[in-house]
Amino acid sequence: MHSPGGKLFVVATPIGNLEDITLRALRTLKEADCIAAEDTRHTSVLLSHYEIRKPLISYHQFNEAKRTAEFIGQLQGGTTIALVSDAGFPGVSDPGERLIAACVAAGVTVEVIPGPSAVLSALAASGLPMCPFLFEGFLPVKSGQRAKVVQALVHRRATTVFFESPYRIGKTLAELARQLPDRPVCVARELTKKFEEFNRGTAADLAASLASKNWKGEITLVVAGCQKRDAADSDDSAEKIDSESDESEE
């Protein structure tokens, strides 16, 4: 049951190029009572570009618990709020998930305004199989945990998409090369921006050729899934190990 009051609009915004915004998104931002933004300074640039003047309220990881309670009260009172992140879809490795869930629980209407996505843009341009795919957000900071995530890709059939820091992408490529040297990979950088680039190749080739690269900007990493033949080989190896283990126990 929905409340007869306000509405939360989840608005996707450009991931780089300011022209990548829909007419519907612009209309929503103009008509909403206020805009909840991950970084008000960042969103101000977008609003100024399109001559939109609306009250901006910060909504980020450090205040989302407090703000969520405040917003729910306002929404139930009839306020309309447009939720935006710095880029792309709110809630996708960005603040927003908590507020959306709270609105659903409280019966507040949630309306999504589709738009740009770094995940889908990188996947589409990677040249790798697009279906099925999994998105895992940011890779772990610690090397040991990152190695476990890469290990999980060994038998995974689906293409996997990650966000990664420019300060760690070199180490991530090295880890991929260690565990999955022949696996096709695409490193997408600065999507839709002036210096957009795609680096495609096997994990081993990219780790070697890009080892000295000075990475900057936003990075989306796409890793192909294992091929059926690879999976079969892995299964055979696993069966061989199990067989040897059984023999040693006899």
- What is the per-residue pLDDT across 126-178, written as a single tens digit (0 to 9) for each? 999 999 999 999 999 999 999 999 999 999 999 999 999 999 999 999 999 99
Q: Which domains does the chain have, with CATH numbers?
A: 7-113 (3.40.1010.10), 118-230 (3.30.950.10)
Residue 32 and residue 113: Cα distance in Å, rounded?
13
Residue 145 and residue 124: Cα distance in Å, rounded?
28
> Is 7:108 a contact under the CB 8 Å cutoff?
yes
- What rounded mean pLDDT belongs to the chain? 91
> Is 224:181 a contact under the CB 8 Å cutoff?
no
Q: Which residues contact 175 (CB under 8 A, 6 or more apart)?
A: 143, 146, 147, 150
Tokens of 151: 């290990």
CA max distance for the chain: 78
Residue 6 and residue 122: Cα distance in Å, rounded?
35
Residue 225 and residue 153: Cα distance in Å, rounded?
7
- Residues of the chain with pLDDT > 90, as a percent, come to 88
- SS3 state of residue 57: strand
> Is 198:188 a contact under the CB 8 Å cutoff?
yes
Phi and psi, residue 127, nearest 5°: 80, 5
- What is the per-residue pLDDT across 220-234, written as a single tens digit (0 to 9) for each? 999 999 986 554 454
Phi and psi, residue 153, nearest 5°: -85, -15
Closest CA to 85 of 11, 26, 164: 11
Residue 194 and residue 156: Cα distance in Å, rounded?
34
Closest CA to 162 of 182, 178, 139, 131: 139
Encoded amino acid at 99, one letter: L
Half-sphere exposure of 10 (CA within 13 A, CB side): 22
Considering Cα of 163, then 158, then 14, then 82, what sign does the dihedral take?
negative
pLDDT in tens, the chain (250 residues): 344 579 999 999 999 999 999 999 999 999 999 999 999 999 999 999 999 999 999 999 999 999 999 999 999 999 999 999 999 999 999 999 999 999 999 999 999 999 999 999 999 999 999 999 999 999 999 999 999 999 999 999 999 999 999 999 999 999 999 999 999 999 999 999 999 999 999 999 999 999 999 999 999 999 999 986 554 454 444 444 344 434 434 4
> Is 6:81 a contact under the CB 8 Å cutoff?
yes
Burial (CB count <10 Å: 0-12, 13-18, 19+), residue 194:
exposed
